[in-house]
Amino acid sequence: MKKTIAASLILIISSLCLLPGCGKSSSGGSLTVFNYSEYLDPEMIAKFTKETGIEIKYEEATTPEEMYTKFTSGAIDYDLLCTSDYMIKRLIDEGQAESVDFSSFENYKNIDPKFAGYSKSYDPEGKYALPYFWGTVGILYNTKQVKAPVDSWDVLFDGSYSGQIIMQDSMRDSFMVALKYLGYSLNTKDENEIREAAELLKKQKSDVSSYLVDEARDEVVAENAVMAVVYSGEAYLGNEYNPDLEYVIPKEGSNLWIDSWIITKKCKNKEAAEKFLDFLCREDVAEANFEYIYYSTPNKAVVDSMDDEFKNNPAVVPTDESVGNCEIYEALDADTTALYNDLWKEIKSE
């Protein structure tokens, strides 16, 4: 009996060693990378490891909030993290980001210089964040059912497509639509303006078919809904699946978003992390990632070599004028966030 216990103990301990983390590999170190799901061509990870010998432990999440929660919980030490502008700002403000000298990168020149301007709101000196993908939020609509051309958020609020519209199941994005429609800044901290937007969203709820995130595009493709508020990247694929779909950035303006990489303060192998970021800027890698998800890329080299079909599609390459009224999200202060949370719950319980 004792022998069996001893034997099973050995078995348990040895099997524990098979779990990741116990048997460290001896190659060029490893990096723990945290990214949105389906946001990077998995073959590029294999390629990076093959070229540099650096192992990549790849972790995924779906929302910036989820990332922040996982990152700050400290259960896993992430070396690199890709998330949205306002969350990048929050991480920089909290001192979680490591400064990087991007000019030392071999491939940084591929990044369109205009992003240095765009990113001012969250990374004023441009020393933390590397733009990865960007885009806008707009309306994806079915031209078969919507005869008049859509150019305003008005179409979501005037009740003409009651029961056939899909809003984003994301607090910030839904408020953004209402705020922009009312002519306010999407970063407003004015309580009255935010409450006015909430009232508008409450009134709109009976016209909304559903609040979705990832499925919004699919529902318009399947013609279960006539229009949906979506990210521009979704719009391109939606149009591929159903050619009747059209994407528009409403004239009142919208949200311009940039997802960027940062190296975290927890990173123990900065050299490897920089290598990884430099690798992502390389034209062939950026192109592979672009072709994996078809979001707009800040990589000028990739844009320049695109087919006209892509270049002339506002969902893939937004024009400077179409983003003229667009704003980048800024991190909201605690009070405004609390107000948003409460109002959003009220809207949802309406």
Contact region for another protein (CB under 8 A) — 30-38, 48-56, 203-211, 236-244? 203-211
Q: What is the smallest separation between the CB atom of 109 and another protein, expressed in angstroms?
A: 38
Q: Is 337 in the site for another protein (CB under 8 A)?
A: yes
Looking at residues 1 to 20 of the shown chain, list those that interact with another protein (rule: CB under 8 A). 1, 5
Q: Is 137 in the site for another protein (CB under 8 A)?
A: no
Q: What is the smallest separation between the CB atom of 341 and another protein, expressed in angstroms?
A: 4
The encoded tokens of residue 313 equal 């599609």
Q: Is 313 in the site for another protein (CB under 8 A)?
A: no
Q: Is 268 in the site for another protein (CB under 8 A)?
A: no
Q: Which is closer to another protein, CB of 108 or CB of 211? A: 211
Contact region for another protein (CB under 8 A) — 260-268, 276-284, 289-297, 333-341? 333-341
Q: Contact letters (x/-) for another protein, 35-74, by CB under 8 A?
A: ----------------------------x-xx-xx-----
The encoded tokens of residue 262 equal 């940062």
Contact region for another protein (CB under 8 A) — 45-53, 123-131, 205-213, 293-301? 205-213
Q: Is 335 in the site for another protein (CB under 8 A)?
A: no
Q: Is 255 in the site for another protein (CB under 8 A)?
A: no
Q: What is the smallest separation between the CB atom of 65 and another protein, expressed in angstroms?
A: 5
Three-state SS across the chain?
CHHHHHHHHHHHHHHHCCCCCCCCCCCCCEEEEEEECCCCCHHHHHHHHHHHCCEEEEEEECCHHHHHHHHHHCCCCCCEEEEEHHHHHHHHHCCCEECCCHHHCCCHHHECCHHHHHHHHCCCCCCCCEEEEEEEEEEEEECCCCCCCCCCCHHHHCCCCCCCEEEECCHHHHHHHHHHHCCCCCCCCCHHHHHHHHHHHHHHHHHEEEEECCCHHHHHHCCCCCEEEEEHHHHHHHHHHCCCEEEECCCCCCEEEEEEEEEECCCCCHHHHHHHHHHHHCHHHHHHHHHHHCCECCEHHHHHCCCHHHHCCCCCCCCCCCCCCCECCCCCCHHHHHHHHHHHHHHHHC
Q: Which is closer to another protein, CB of 67 or CB of 316? A: 67
- Size of interface with another protein, in residues (CB under 8 A): 29
Q: Contact letters (x/-) for another protein, 219-238, by CB under 8 A?
A: x--xxxx-------------
Q: Which is closer to another protein, CB of 208 or CB of 303? A: 208
Looking at residues 142 to 171 of the shown chain, list those that interact with another protein (rule: CB under 8 A). 169, 171
**Number of Cβ atoms within 10 Å of the Cβ of 115:** 19
Q: Is 342 in the site for another protein (CB under 8 A)?
A: yes
β 208-212/80-84 pair status: unpaired
Can you give the binding site for another protein, defined by CB under 8 A? 1, 5, 63, 65-66, 68-69, 169, 171, 205, 208-212, 219, 222-225, 337-338, 341-342, 344-346, 348-349
